Amino acid sequence: MKKKTSTAPKYIVITGGVLSGLGKGIASASIGRLLSSHLKIVPIKCDGYLNTDPGTMNPVEHGEVFVLDDGGEVDMDFGHYERFIGTDCKFGWNLTMGKIFKSILEKERRGDYLGRTVQFIPHVTNEIKSWIKGIVEREEADLAIIEIGGTVGDLENQFYIEAVRQLRREVGPNDIVYVHLTYIPIPSGVNELKTKPTQMSVKALNQLGIEPDIIIARCAEYLTPKIKEKIALFCDVETEAVISGPDVKCVYEVPLAYELEGLVATLHKKLGIYSPPELKRWRELVETIKANIENPKQTVNIAICGKYTALEDSYASVVEALAHCGALLDAKVKVKWVDTDNMESTSISPAELLKDVDGVIVPGGFGARGIEGKIDIIRYCREKGVPFLGICYGMQLAVVEFARSVCGLSGANTAEVRDDGKEVADPVIDILPEQKTVTEKGATMRLGGHDVIIKKNTVAHKILNSDSVRRRFRHRFEVNPDYIERLEEKGIVFSGRASDKRIMQIMELPNHPYFVGCQFHPELTSKLETPDPFFLQMVKTALGSKKR
Rg (CA), the chain: 25
Residue-level pLDDT at 155:
93
Instruction: Map residue 13 onto helix, strand or coil.
Output: strand
Q: Which residues are catalytic?
A: 392, 521, 523
Is residue 500 helix, strand or coil? coil
* CB 303, CB 357: distance < 8 Å: yes
Omega within 30 of 0 (cis) for the link into 185: no
Do 545 and 354 touch, CB atoms closer than 8 A? no
In terms of Cα–Cα distance, which of 161, 244, 133, 251 is closest to 198? 244
3-state secondary structure of 169: helix
**Is residue 422 helix, strand or coil?**
coil
Q: Identify the burial level of 314 via C-beta atoms within 10 angstroms of its C-beta, where 0-12 means exposed, 13-18 middle and 19 or more buried.
A: buried
How far, in Å, CA of 497 to CA of 494, rounded?
7
Q: What is the pTM of this model?
A: 0.93
Give CA 347 to chain center in angstroms.
33
CATH architecture classification, 296-547 = 3-Layer(aba) Sandwich (3.40)
Nearest-angstrom CA–CA distance, 424 and 452 = 29
* CATH superfamily, with its number, for domain 10-278: P-loop containing nucleotide triphosphate hydrolases (3.40.50.300)
Torsion of CA 82, 543, 510, 335, to 10 degrees: 50
β-sheet with 468-475: strand ranges across? 332-339, 299-306, 359-362, 388-391, 515-518, 504-508, 493-498, 446-454, 468-475
Comparing CA positions, the residue from 384, 379, 393 lying closest to residue 478 is 393
Beta bridge partners of 517: 390, 507
Between CA 159 and CA 511 the distance in angstroms is 58
Kindly report, as residue ranges, where domains of CATH 3.40.50.880 are found in the chain: 296-547
Distance CA 327, CA 320 (A): 11
The contacts of residue 546 (CB under 8 Å, 6+ apart) are 298, 300, 358
Q: Where are the alpha helices (DSSP H) in 272-370?
A: 280-294, 316-329, 340-346, 350-353
Task: Note the Cα 341 to chain centre separation in Å.
Answer: 24
Q: What is the pLDDT at residue 438?
A: 74
Q: What is the dihedral of CA 313, 314, 318, 323, to 10 degrees?
A: -10
Single-letter amino acid code for the residue at 341: D
User: Which of 517, 508, 429 lies closest to 476, judged by CA?
Assistant: 429
Diameter of the chain measured on Cα atoms: 76
- Give start-end residues of each CATH 3.40.50.300 domain in the chain: 10-278
Amino acid at 308: Y
List the pLDDT tens digit at each of the 548 positions of the chain. Answer: 455 544 899 999 999 999 988 999 999 999 999 999 999 999 999 999 999 888 888 776 778 999 999 999 999 999 999 999 999 999 999 999 999 999 999 999 999 998 899 999 999 999 999 999 999 999 999 999 999 999 999 999 999 999 999 999 999 999 999 999 999 999 988 889 999 999 999 999 999 999 999 999 999 999 999 999 999 999 999 999 999 999 999 999 999 999 999 999 999 999 999 999 999 999 999 999 999 988 898 999 999 998 877 667 789 999 999 999 999 999 999 999 998 888 767 778 899 999 999 999 999 988 888 899 999 999 999 999 999 999 999 999 999 999 999 999 999 999 988 866 678 899 999 998 888 777 676 767 889 999 999 999 999 999 999 999 999 999 999 999 999 999 999 999 999 999 887 899 999 999 999 999 999 999 999 999 999 999 999 999 999 876 66
Residue 58's CB: how many other CB atoms inside 10 A? 12
